[in-house]
């Protein structure tokens, strides 16, 4: 499949230099490399600069509410497990208001792939503190420096039982494409945290370039839970790559199919409700 197949007519309105351009390039590259036709992909997003993503790629998309792309994605996957279902959103969206959905999707091993464009700030709303903003970080809502410890999403998700946890960098789109391809091929939930700098409100490009290294270059074993946790807790340097991968757990959708048969509800015909049944339902639930 050619990358051109995923080109949208709508050009991204991100600021020049925004990290999200690299993520968009990497997602298109990964889908093309895996030969997944655009009509078999659905991308669910929330609200934020990063969440405008589905408009900039020619797949199906759902640009929904802040913090709510995961439940939408799960519903789509349950209804038609043949689809490749991605979530693309920001750190505010996924690690703040939407984090509850994330930890439960991870422990259920829902077969959705969550790509978080983590710029450690609220970009769209012009630079407020996010859950991954650092201690002492000066933002509009922490003018004297943040006094809140940041969330460590990788350690939280590995500890929670997520079966695939990776971190990429928008400045390395080829490496990021490889991580996204592995996430898509994985049977079950995958988190790909992407350091995707906001050049307007909190530019961390130089710092990421200085501190990053690739886990695969250091012989990291992603099936080793404790090695994964140690890498996730590393603070001096910034490891990129696949931190943790557990291929032994079936996904929620696989177990659902085992219990109730083919779960492709989207392809089943539904008997329309008649007015009497509707009235009964109204009475029961009012």
Ligand X SMILES: Cc1ncc(C[n+]2csc(CCOP(=O)(O)OP(=O)(O)O)c2C)c(N)n1
Q: Which chain residues interact with ligand SF4 by CB under 6 A?
A: 14-15, 18, 20, 49, 119, 123-124, 198-201
**In the numeric block, which tokens belong to residue 120?**
């450690």
> Which residue has the closest beta carbon to Mg ion?
90
DSSP 89: E
Query: Read out DSSP for 43-66?
Result: EEE-SSTGGGGGGGBSSEEEE--T
Residues that bind ligand X (CB under 6 A): 47-50, 66, 90-93, 117, 119, 121-125, 130
200 makes contact, choosing from ligand X, Mg ion, ligand SF4, none, with CB < 5 to 8 Å by partner type, with ligand SF4
Give the three-class secondary structure for 130.
coil
18 makes contact, choosing from ligand SF4, Mg ion, ligand X, none, with CB < 5 to 8 Å by partner type, with ligand SF4
Kindly identify the residues of this chain, within the stretch 116-175, that bind Mg ion according to CB under 5 A.
119, 123
**From 20, 91, 111, 182, residue interacting with Mg ion (rule: CB under 5 A):** 91
Rounded distance between C-alpha atoms, residue 57 and residue 27, angstroms: 9
Q: What residues form DSSP beta bridges with 218?
A: none
The closest alpha carbon to 113, from 171, 62, 189, belongs to 189
93 makes contact, choosing from Mg ion, ligand X, ligand SF4, none, with CB < 5 to 8 Å by partner type, with ligand X
148 neighbors 131 (Cβ within 8 angstroms):
no
Kind plus residue range of the DSSP H or E element containing 214: strand 212-214
- When the beta carbons of 22 and 90 are compared against Mg ion, the nearer one is 90
CB of 122 to ligand SF4, least distance (A): 9
**In the numeric block, which tokens belong to residue 184?**
């898509």
CB of 102 to ligand SF4, least distance (A): 20
CB of 135 to ligand X, least distance (A): 18
- When the beta carbons of 112 and 195 are compared against ligand SF4, the nearer one is 195
**From 90, 153, 222, 263, residue interacting with Mg ion (rule: CB under 5 A):** 90
Checking phi first, is residue 171 left (phi over 0); if not, alpha (psi -120 to 50) or beta?
alpha
**In the numeric block, which tokens belong to residue 245?**
């991968």
8 makes contact, choosing from Mg ion, ligand X, ligand SF4, none, with CB < 5 to 8 Å by partner type, with none
106 neighbors 165 (Cβ within 8 angstroms):
no
Question: Applying CB under 5 A, which residues contact Mg ion?
Answer: 90-92, 119, 123
């Amino acid at each position: 499949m050619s990358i051109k197949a995923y080109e949208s007519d709508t050009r991204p309105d991100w600021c020049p230099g925004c990290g999200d351009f690299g993520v968009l390039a990497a997602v298109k590259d990964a889908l093309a490399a895996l030969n997944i036709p655009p009509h078999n992909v659905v991308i669910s997003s929330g609200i934020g600069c990063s969440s405008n993503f589905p408009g900039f790629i020619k797949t199906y998309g759902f640009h929904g509410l802040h913090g709510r792309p995961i439940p939408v994605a799960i519903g789509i996957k349950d209804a038609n497990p043949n689809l490749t279902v991605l979530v693309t959103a920001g750190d505010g969206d996924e690690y703040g208001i939407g984090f509850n959905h994330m930890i439960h999707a991870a422990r259920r091993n829902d077969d959705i792939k969550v790509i978080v464009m983590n710029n450690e700030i609220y970009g769209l709303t012009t630079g407020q503190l996010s859950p991954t903003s650092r201690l002492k970080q000066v933002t509009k809502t922490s003018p004297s420096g943040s006094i809140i410890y940041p969330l460590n999403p990788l350690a939280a998700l590995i500890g929670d039982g997520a079966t695939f946890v990776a971190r990429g960098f928008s400045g390395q789109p080829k490496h990021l494409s490889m991580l996204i391809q592995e996430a898509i091929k994985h049977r079950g939930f995958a988190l790909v945290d992407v350091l995707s700098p906001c050049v307007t409100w909190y530019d961390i490009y130089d710092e990421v370039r200085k501190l990053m290294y690739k886990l695969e270059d250091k012989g990291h074993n992603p099936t080793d839970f404790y090695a994964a946790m140690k890498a996730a807790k590393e603070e001096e340097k910034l490891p990129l790559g696949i931190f943790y991968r557990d291929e032994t757990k079936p996904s929620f959708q696989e177990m659902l199919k085992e219990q109730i048969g083919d779960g492709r509800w989207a392809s089943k015909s539904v008997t329309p409700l008649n007015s009497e049944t509707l009235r009964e339902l109204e009475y029961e639930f009012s």
